[in-house]
A = this chain, B = another copy of it.
């Protein structure tokens, strides 16, 4: 008699954003006259850059002729894209990453959820708290993390590294050594970053203790400050302990196009086994490549015209970030993030809980944000707004927040 994977039963409620979407849909159905401004999920709103559109049309035309038709992509990604990434994201920045250490995928969410499969069932993970929920949920589904305690909002076997206003959003090095350390920098949801020396401390800690860092750099394009690393491989020794995950969603607007990649340096060996080779085996067995036309679109992101397009998108969203950040500050709110990231992380007013503020904002201002506690217990009392709306909606949302 077949039995289910009971680990799924341990997950409390829905995936965070699916749950919010349902709550908003319910409100919207009950109040069809209300116009809701969505600054909740980190989804972009601006169209794809023209270089990407041209590349897509061109690639579609290639697929229309037998002479240029392409079927299955190479397991690990097309060389034209892997080479371009190696050159533009790494070699040009002084990071020693080769094209065969880059694995093209359908996005950072898939990769950050799947990477745990390379590790033992008893792997102990550490996460910053608050954190993007996929890291924890994917490990829970795989039978790690122990049991969930409703009262504390914590999993018994996870090592939490709080990042709050109190510690300046800099995680303390864990006393109990984790096997895997998930970092998202610039951080989702707090919008905060680490300086290079601060990140170097974490790399040194991982190398000293035999931990692996899963470094999600999906928001690196939003970095504006000089001393903030764009890649973990800017830190010494990171090619011995860090896997980096990147996305085309937030820089070039690929949320609906789906493209990302993971870097696993050849130097990373665990018990003598190459993680790069394991990931290659997983790609070959469990995945069939990102679409050819989308890989060509990804290549176009690195063309001169593409880079200009990305720059304009980032400026547009970072202008929104400034509008929201400064607007909230002017209203007297305590606000973080929004300088090197498209996320604004605010303290809720009057000691409201995150969900109380979510409801208030939805009902009184018809603005959707994301409750901080949805990202972890240390997110309680915080609230995330994204800069991914339109300029008009960012301004209008600010005007509606009058409490």
Contacts and interface: CB of A to CB of B under 8 A. Distances in A.
A21 to B, nearest CB: 8
Given A284-B15, A286-B110, A66 B53 contact: no
A69 interface: yes
A258 B121 contact: no
Contacts of A128: none
Interface string A92-108: 00000000000000110
A63 B72 contact: no
Nearest to A13: B281
B73 A256 contact: yes
A377 interface: no
A18 interface: yes
A70 B257 CA distance: 9
Contact of A64 (B2, B50, B118, B179): B50
A380 interface: no
Contacts of A79: none
Interface stretch (A41-49, A155-163, A317-325): A41-49
Interface in A194-229: 209-212
B2 A288 contact: no
Interface residues of A, number: 86
Contact of A123 (B2, B212, B275): B2
Interface stretch (A232-240, A291-299, A357-365): A291-299
Given A8-B273, A48-B69, A114-B286, 8 more contacts: A2-B212, A5-B278, A17-B284, A18-B284, A47-B66, A57-B57, A69-B253, A293-B293
Q: Nearest 5 A-B pairs (CB), nearest first?
A: A15-B284, A2-B179, A43-B71, A71-B255, A3-B120
Interface of A: 1-6, 8-9, 11, 14-15, 17-18, 41, 43-48, 50, 53, 56-57, 60-61, 63-66, 69-73, 75, 106-107, 109-110, 113-114, 117-123, 133-134, 137-138, 141, 143, 177, 179-180, 209-212, 253, 255-258, 270-271, 273, 275, 278, 281-282, 284-294, 390
13 contacts: A2-B210, A5-B117, A8-B118, A8-B281, A15-B281, A18-B75, A46-B69, A47-B66, A48-B64, A69-B253, A133-B285, A257-B293, A291-B291
